[in-house]
Amino acid sequence: MSGIFGENIKVSIFGESHGGGIGVTLHGLPSGVALDMEAISREMARRAPGGSPLSTARSEADEPEILSGFFNGFTTGTPLTALIRNRDTRSRDYAQLQDTVRPGHADYTGAVRYAGFQDYRGGGHFSGRITAPLVFAGAVCKQILKRKGVVIGAHILSIHAVQDRALEIETCTEQILAGFAGQELPVLDAQAGAAMREAILEAKKQGDSVGGVIECAAVGLAAGIGDPFFDSVESVLSHILFAIPGVKGVAFGGGFAMASQRGSQCNDPFYYDGQGRVRTRTNVNGGVNGGITNGMPLCFQVACRPTASIAKEQDTVSLEKKQPAKLIVHGRHDPCIVPRAVPVVEAAAAIAILDMMGGRRA
Ligand SMILES: Cc1cc2nc3c(=O)[nH]c(=O)nc-3n(C[C@H](O)[C@H](O)[C@H](O)COP(=O)(O)O)c2cc1C
Ligand SMILES: C=C(O[C@@H]1CC(C(=O)O)=C[C@@H](OP(=O)(O)O)[C@H]1O)C(=O)O
């Protein structure tokens, strides 16, 4: 399998949820970048499991141990590797799942693909836990991007039937985007946040789960990043966003709604802003035309499925007996992956954007 993403900044991920640890190596970073380790820890804490009724009860500190590429407070320019130890594993929860595979999870497909040799404990390499190293890599990339004037932030656009306000040009400010990091359920409308919390807790009470949509924006991007066709901004971002376990949809700007609109509603009119910069009055195209940034906020949405591991009885099969079977998943699971996936989406965006900025046109 390939655990590597990127052209200029290559990110390679390793580890299993119940193995010794998980980690990441970043190749192609510049030397001499001062890394703010506290800022990295804050990013890790946003995603870390445990400590909230909205999260899985598995509790991990997720403190990255830097093994290489960092010396006297600066990147050296050689591969930067971070290791995160797994501490709170409870592998007995998974004993039955190798045979009676979970509907919606990767137990069956992983067993087929790796002929039964995969580490099935805790979902192994398919686990959402593998997004912890991605957040580390993203936190490093975010710091480099910030020095180039690029800020990324994401909020929860919806959970189940509860909707937050969508980001507009006016709300795509550095301050608002950076402020999302301080909220457990990052939203523009606090009432929507409270209703989302209720929706998650209600599903959990019923042994069920809910999904939702994350909306992410990047501001401060120059016009002219990206290439047409295979390396379009949408293609590169989608590649890494769909790698996040549980992500089932990615859309840019007005997304699928644009399909039922008219051209006059979807063409963002151009104007000069008085400082010689070309801007658009609206941003239905999410800051991308022809796969290339146009200098407006880059805006996209990511749909997450409801968590597969639910406490309700489900139909499955026994792979060993080749017979139908019933399954109740025991163990510690997120009733909704969306809140913890928010920093993961930001991290994935930071990695992809820095990678694209490292190209010929940077
Ligand atoms: C941060 C995060 C936490 C997750 N937590 C769980 C969980 O507790 N239980 C679960 O069944 N799936 C969880 N998932 C999703 C599964 O890992 C994912 O559904 C599974 O690997 C199958 O992949 P797919 O949904 O992309 O097909 C989580 C995903 C992320 C990103
Ligand atoms: C450990 C994390 O989340 C895990 C993601 C996950 C899954 O199937 O994706 C299943 C659960 O694993 P376990 O049964 O080992 O507790 C979650 O707790 C994490 O995100 O760090």
pLDDT tens-digit profile of 299-339? 999 999 999 999 999 999 999 999 999 999 999 999 999 99
Residues at the binding site for NADP(+) are: 47
ipTM metric: 0.99
Spell out the domain ranges in the chain. 4-357
Residues at the binding site for FMN are: 125-127, 290, 332
Residues having CB within 6 Å of any atom of ligand 1 = 56, 105-106, 123, 126-128, 131, 244-246, 305, 307-309, 333-334, 337, 340-341, 344
Which of ligand 2's atoms lies nearest the C-alpha of 62? 21
pLDDT at 122: 95
pLDDT at 361: 39
pLDDT at 2: 78
Per-residue pLDDT tens digits for 189-199: 999 999 999 99
pLDDT at 1: 78
**CATH code for the part of the protein at 4-357:** 3.60.150.10
The Cβ of residue 163 has, within 10 Å, a number of other Cβ atoms equal to: 17
pLDDT at 360: 38
Residue spans of the chain under pLDDT 70: 359-362
pLDDT at 266: 98
